[in-house]
Amino acid sequence: MILLDGKKLSDEIKNNLKQEVLVLKSQSIEPCLAVILVGEDSASSTYVNSKARACEQCGIKSLVYRLDVNTTQNELLALINTLNYDDSVDGILVQLPLPLHINKDIVLESINFNKDVDGFHPFNVGILNLNLKGGFLPCTPLGVMKILNHYGIALQGANVVIIGASNIVGRPMATLLLNANASVSICHIYTRDLKAYTKNADIIIVAAGCPNLLKEDMVKDGVVVVDVGINRVDGKIVGDVDYENVSKKASFITPVPGGVGPMTIAVLLENTIKSAKNRIKK
């Protein structure tokens, strides 16, 4: 079994990004990412802090807006509009989930798609689904693709099962894999007989938010397993895969933590620098 070490790969990517940032700064362009957090969700706050630290490591300017949980939707939209028109800001990220009184879709659509480094704006979703160049691809699915490519895992013709159909991971993940000529099945909470899908899969990507969902008897020998899940159980961070037992049959597997998570942040930084480079073209 070979560990798919996302932490090591993300460090390599960030080291390369440091050099790109230096080049941009020599051209009087300082890449800048603005992150907006509404409320005091502890997990979201941890993610925001991680993104800010990663920006600092690469020399990217980080603006963090921590808004009260009672912030209105109009107040949030006004802040986004200000950032949209700020030429010094290259990327805008609104940390999800948002409080229930705020419409997530309206907020995400309000972000200038040229600064949508999360890849959630309908324009960028369309770019992905039409397999066109340009735009921004969503960070976690693209991070998974980079891990698979880095370790030489063949995708063309592979039988891939994705567990989880969210707009953030499952659906864009499926599209990226289809674009790479894999055969893809998406399973979700209403799927009957999940094991019938996973047992024959060459690659399984789990993003369901359910600890130990994928078990040893659900996979074949030599399977490649990518665990996107992040759950807290008895004070420990665990994924969606029964790692101890599934790893005995897997040829490749990601750890949690240290697998997909670091790659999500690395791709976010890549997207921010990609946006900053667009300033040169203006």
Q: 105 CB contacts (<8 Å, ≥6 apart)?
A: none
Phi/psi of residue 231, nearest 5 degrees = -135, 150
Per-residue tokens: 196:
């019938």
Can you state the percent helix, strand and coil of the chain, rounding each to 5? 45, 15, 40
Would you say residue 97 has pLDDT above 70? yes
- Give percent above pLDDT 90 in the chain: 94
Taking the alpha carbons at both ends of the chain, their separation in whole angstroms is 48
The answer to whether 27-113 and 139-261 have equal CATH topology is yes
Q: Which superfamily does 27-113 belong to?
A: Leucine Dehydrogenase, chain A, domain 1 (3.40.50.10860)
Q: 207 CB contacts (<8 Å, ≥6 apart)?
A: 140, 162, 163, 164, 166, 169, 170, 173, 228, 229, 240
The pLDDT tens digits for 26-45 are 999 999 999 999 998 888 88
What are the Cα distances from residue 147, in Å, to 2, 177, 191?
A: 12, 13, 27
Q: What is the pLDDT of residue 17?
A: 97
Q: What is the pLDDT of residue 282?
A: 60
Domain boundaries, the chain: 27-113, 139-261
The pLDDT tens digits for 191-204 are 999 999 999 999 99
Mean of pLDDT values over 156-176: 97
Alpha-carbon torsion angle 206, 261, 157, 222, nearest 10:
-70
> Active-site residue numbers?
51, 95, 118
The pLDDT tens digits for 43-75 are 888 889 999 999 999 999 999 999 999 999 999
The pLDDT tens digits for 69-80 are 999 999 999 999
Q: Which superfamily does 139-261 belong to?
A: NAD(P)-binding Rossmann-like Domain (3.40.50.720)
